[in-house]
Amino acid sequence: MSQISQWAYLCGLAFKIVVTMPTAHCVATIDGIILTADRGFLDLVGLSEAEVIGASYRTITHPDDLDRSATMLASLVDRAPPFRLQKRYVRPDGTIIAANLYVTRFTDADRLVSTIFWNDEGRTPPPARLWEMALRIRRLHEVRKAALGDDLSTDPVWSVLNCVYLAEAEGRVVGLSDIATETGLLPVIVERWVKVLSDRGIVEPCALARRNVQLTQAGMSKMEAILSSAYEMPVSR
């Protein structure tokens, strides 16, 4: 296994990312100078290995995202990773690719490893802060199940919706069996609620629903409204 493959494997284990859409990995210094990149990363930025190695992240990052990227690098120096970030890359032909990143600092203080996933076609990934909130809610549900038991923690509608939302945010495709596996729900329950949500216009299974379930535009808007509300200051009643 190559060095970058080992780093990518460890990074994948650390963050439990299972990606079926394009994914990439690169290793850089803490200043953002790229040292190693895999084929996926070269495809993402549309450059050759010779053009990428030794280059700064600034040369391939959308100008409007440079400050956010610089803040991320500073944060990794000041505090331990992981750090999640959504940013845009600019290819030589002018194409702009929105991507989600997991960046971690490994034992060697001069090395940062990034796992990146994106979608060349279709909708832009949801805002990074909403993606993070969905991850937090999923984690809270897992803790709740561990503390109270499955029978006191069942919420099939939200579990299905949050699973589909996270898949879209991470550039993955999920079908009925994937949702059942990720949520811990029985396949028959997942199928039942996907049908209900489809009838309500919230999700849209493709012709092969067992392989691909997505949020409708209306469903995406509802999920983003729900997740955004978590950042609002509640008023005591």
Tell me 150's DSSP state: G
CB 125, CB 119: distance < 8 Å: yes
Q: Provide the domain limits for residue 171.
A: 128-229
Domain with 137 in it: what CATH number?
1.10.10.10
Residue that has been written with the tokens 């331990």 in this structure: 80
Residues 158 and 104 grouped into a single domain = no
DSSP code for 101: E
Q: Which of 45-49, 57-61, 89-93, 209-213 is least confident?
A: 209-213
Considering 118, 146, 174, which residue would you say is the last residue of a domain?
118
Contact (Cβ atoms closer than 8 angstroms) between residue 172 and residue 21: yes
Q: Helix 156-169 crosses helix 128-148 at what angle (to 10 degrees)?
A: 140
| Distance set, CA 66 to CA 33, 70, 87, 142 (Å) | 14, 6, 9, 35
Q: How far apart are CA 25 and CA 38, in angstroms?
A: 6
| Residue 236 within any structural domain of the chain | no
- List the CATH number of the domain containing 9: 3.30.450.20
Q: What pLDDT digit, counting tens, does each position of 163-212 carry?
A: 999 988 876 778 899 899 999 999 999 999 999 999 999 998 765 546 68
* Least confident segment among 117-121, 131-135, 176-180: 117-121
**Among 118, 136, 155, which residue terminates a domain?**
118
Domain tally, the chain:
2
**Separation between Cα atoms, residue 237 and residue 226, nearest integer Å:** 20
